[in-house]
Structure 1
């Protein structure tokens, strides 16, 4: 009975492994706005790809730093930073401009998902963040485009992070999804069954 159980567990492990061939990528982004404390302005977030780029989605939540009214948006944009904001690349370009009160540290959690994670293609995508003053002057950066940071989504090859401001920090977050936890549990049970039959 044990050899049959082990075979079934290993088969289930392989099935789950194929189901989690890629995992969504999570990042924490911190923007230090203390040098412009007390002023108000705008935050702009965008996700752009070419016509033949694989589909991508960027989901953001504001951890600290309240967001204000949405002034403009373009493309496939849902929600806003006061709750959950999602940008999708199916229309080629998605962009949102939202009011922001500057002060302490603006912290965002970013989840990157979509076909680009495990599709090899020449055309990638770019996620970018800009800060603007109330009179639309770029803040806290030296890049001519106004970008504080750019994440280059390289299909099948991960993310290249470009920091364009000393006031920005980006770090990946490791989040174990339920299928991965299930996979680890099944592997442990299979190992225990194998050790029992071996003895």
Structure 2
């Protein structure tokens, strides 16, 4: 069960191998993802300062039936469909990327996303924006690393159909744990993970 989950297989594939229903396989996978070992991959929040390289990524998440109350405030950032892949929104930036996240007088390095001007303004920071593909400066090379991480993340998550809003953190924890242990084979990974599940 753990080995197949680490390979990123679907619930249907897991159920086939462990001879149970897809629903039971899905619940068991969530149990693995909620283990203390995966939970401990989450970094404790700390305010960012100094030179900060920033880039956004978007993943499909299912919101269908999650917000039954039509006045639920969380709806303001959703589109009218069941999946949300919108670009950054001004209101979200104002609420989330502020002085609680980034200390004043920091240097923010980003691509050409216009809303990063707002980030710099409300954190009283300096913005260095460039097209990373055309700028060979060492200051921007970490942005390329961020892009590779984003691609790796999306490639891992694409195997999970119907990525639920409530369970996204579990999938992110699994991805991060796998990334940290990428030198191990699935068999070795499952042995390491087994003891804390």
TM-score (norm 2): 0.25
TM-score by length of 1: 0.25
Structure with greater Cα Rg: 1
Tell me which protein shows more strand as a share of its residues. Answer: 1
Higher helix share: 2
